[in-house]
């Protein structure tokens, strides 16, 4: 069994309104490649956010009382703190310079996934420019899956990928923040091992494993390429691909010993 | 840029004393493949532990006072609790049925990484059989790297892989617990992005991304194959491969907000 990860070349700088699927297909064509049935396309969150114009300029953000107080406490620009709070349900941890929150989508992310690197505006006047996560990354992923089906009659999977920090371990790793077209979490609960014992590994976060593997080809903040194609992946339960998206990967708060 | 993950076929059940490198080479040969320079070999922890005879039978474990008390508190076999404590530095979290510890090697693992699935003994009398992590997974990885160098003059990387649970997210994902031959943590601190801003993603846990991507081909608890070859990976800082192993991936306790 073989999996091939193909870094898609010649993806241009993405600007608001761009058709990301069209850019991916152009990139593939420039390599003599095209989409095939059962390909999984991993797309860096950043280009989806850019295409969806999720820019916010901090000059337009007025920090409220909580953001001002918190900004002073953790030594962080209160306008950025306000933006993080606006994108979040609650603060999970804080320390000087760092704010770990539960994003409104349920993810536990540093700074609510808001980016300030590898982005700029037309004037290069970008000190205060921020890029938020897509409004609904599952919907963004679904749109690509449906676009491919309509244009080519092919069934593909899509993962929107973000590099995230983790508890207990150093370094960032690619994680899925949006999923469509396949099962993000493979469930083996009630399965038995080769000797007839109940399985101890009962759920595999397949979409996160795909995102992590693809991140290797993206480099830090998608410097190398923002799109990676995975060929040869056979998802478990291929019929069970209704619109569950990334939600099965989010651990409910009451099942989390680290919240 | 392209990465190929090859599931190595025909790896037999591993027994204590087995030469894992020889088994991998036989499996590759059965596919008409052989090792190449710069391949990264990802090996499931379980077969390394089996080859190193890291079995413990709970009938030989006598729980002490703490294990008896804790076993009752979290409703877990006190002999298993004793074994977990023996493998650990400290308890990080506990709840009914679950013990999350800092393993003596520094990892935060459920049950100290002790396995009870997909293992058996000669008699099939295996209810109480446990398998510990390798004594020194970095050394196990180094031994394979050095073996390949001696036999073939090739430079490969090796990752010992374990499927681990995570804070905040559901499902298990492959992680590196032993690394040799390449840089586990790629450091971009002080690097600048394409617009000249300092990078926000500053360290990439490359060995974890490799382990996660390879896990997809291993299935839950290495049911599909316990060995995956990655071809096409070009590590950053290929000269900086001195014996740091997996240690750079372990977050120091005082830098961890989730301990």
Q: pLDDT digit string (tens) for B17-28?
A: 999 999 999 999
Look at residue B193 in the predicted model and tell me its pLDDT: 59
Could A2 and B7 be called an inter-chain contact, meaning their C-beta atoms sit closer than 8 Å? yes
Structural domains in chain A (count): 2
Interface of A with B in 156-185 (CB under 8 A): 163, 166-175, 185
Residue A228 lies in a domain: yes
Looking at this predicted complex, what is its ipTM?
Answer: 0.92
- Identify whether residues A127 and A148 lie together within a single domain: no
Quick check: A201 and A188 in contact, CB under 8 A? yes
- Identify whether residues A59 and A9 lie together within a single domain: no
Quick check: A5 and B216 in contact, CB under 8 A? no
Residue A259 lies in a domain: no
Residue A143 lies in a domain: yes
pLDDT in tens, A185-198: 988 776 665 555 55
Residue B224 lies in a domain: yes
First-last CA distance in chain A: 38
Look at residue B240 in the predicted model and tell me its pLDDT: 59
- Identify whether residues A18 and A97 lie together within a single domain: no
- Identify whether residues A39 and A148 lie together within a single domain: yes
Could A108 and B168 be called an inter-chain contact, meaning their C-beta atoms sit closer than 8 Å? yes
Could A213 and B175 be called an inter-chain contact, meaning their C-beta atoms sit closer than 8 Å? no
- Identify whether residues A62 and A74 lie together within a single domain: yes
Q: Give the pairing of strands A88-95 and A98-103.
A: antiparallel
Quick check: A27 and A257 in contact, CB under 8 A? no
Percent of chain B having pLDDT more than 90? 76
Helix (H/G/I), strand (E/B), else coil: B184 = coil
Distance CA A55, CA A52 (A): 9
> What predicted TM-score, i.e. pTM, was given to this entire model?
0.93
Look at residue A246 in the predicted model and tell me its pLDDT: 94
pLDDT at B31 over 90: yes
Residue B257 lies in a domain: no
- Identify whether residues A242 and A167 lie together within a single domain: yes
- Identify whether residues B40 and B76 lie together within a single domain: no
Provide the residue range defining the domain that includes A145: 4-54+134-249
Q: CB under 8 Å to B83, separation ≥6 — which residues?
A: B56, B58, B61, B112, B114, B130, B132
Looking at beta carbons, which residues of chain A come within 8 Å of B100? 257
Nearest beta carbon to residue A257 from set B93, B124, B174: B93
Tell me which of B86, B108, B131 is where a domain ends: B131
- Identify whether residues A94 and A39 lie together within a single domain: no
Q: What are phi and psi of A248, to 5 degrees?
A: -60, -15
- Identify whether residues A164 and A209 lie together within a single domain: yes
Helix (H/G/I), strand (E/B), else coil: B153 = coil
Distance CA B218, CA B226 (A): 6
Tell me which of A131, A155, A187 is where a domain ends: A131
pLDDT in tens, B150-169: 999 999 999 999 999 999 99
pLDDT at B237 over 70: no
Q: pLDDT under 70 in chain A at which residues?
A: 117-126, 190-201, 221-222, 236-243
Q: What are phi and psi of A73, to 5 degrees?
A: -60, -40
Quick check: B147 and B24 in contact, CB under 8 A? no
Distance CA B49, CA B182 (A): 22
Distance CA A93, CA B191 (A): 27
């Amino acid at each position: 069994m073989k999996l091939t990860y193909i870094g898609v070349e010649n993806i241009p700088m993405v600007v608001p309104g761009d058709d990301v699927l069209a850019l991916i297909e152009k990139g593939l064509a420039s390599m003599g490649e095209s989409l095939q049935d059962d390909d999984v396309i991993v797309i860096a969150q950043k280009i989806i956010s850019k295409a969806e114009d999720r820019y916010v300029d901090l000059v337009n953000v007025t920090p409220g009382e909580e953001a001002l107080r918190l900004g002073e406490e953790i030594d962080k620009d209160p306008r950025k703190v306000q933006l993080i709070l606006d994108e979040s349900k609650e603060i999970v941890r804080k320390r000087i310079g760092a704010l770990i929150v539960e994003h409104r989508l349920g993810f536990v992310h540093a700074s609510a996934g808001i980016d300030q690197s590898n982005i700029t505006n037309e004037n290069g006047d970008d000190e205060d420019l921020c890029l938020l996560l897509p409004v609904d990354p599952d919907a963004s992923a679904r749109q690509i899956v449906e676009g491919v089906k309509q244009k080519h009659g092919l069934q593909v999977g899509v993962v929107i990928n973000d590099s995230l920090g983790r508890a207990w371990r150093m370094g960032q790793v690619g994680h899925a923040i949006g999923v469509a077209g396949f099962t993000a979490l493979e469930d083996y609960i009630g399965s038995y091992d080769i000797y007839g014992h109940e399985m101890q590994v009962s759920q595999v976060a397949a979409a996160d494993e795909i995102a992590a593997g693809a991140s290797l080809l993206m480099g830090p903040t998608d410097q190398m390429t923002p799109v990676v194609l995975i060929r040869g992946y056979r998802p478990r339960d291929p019929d069970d691909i209704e619109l569950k998206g990334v939600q099965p990967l989010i651990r409910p708060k009451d099942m989390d010993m680290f919240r």
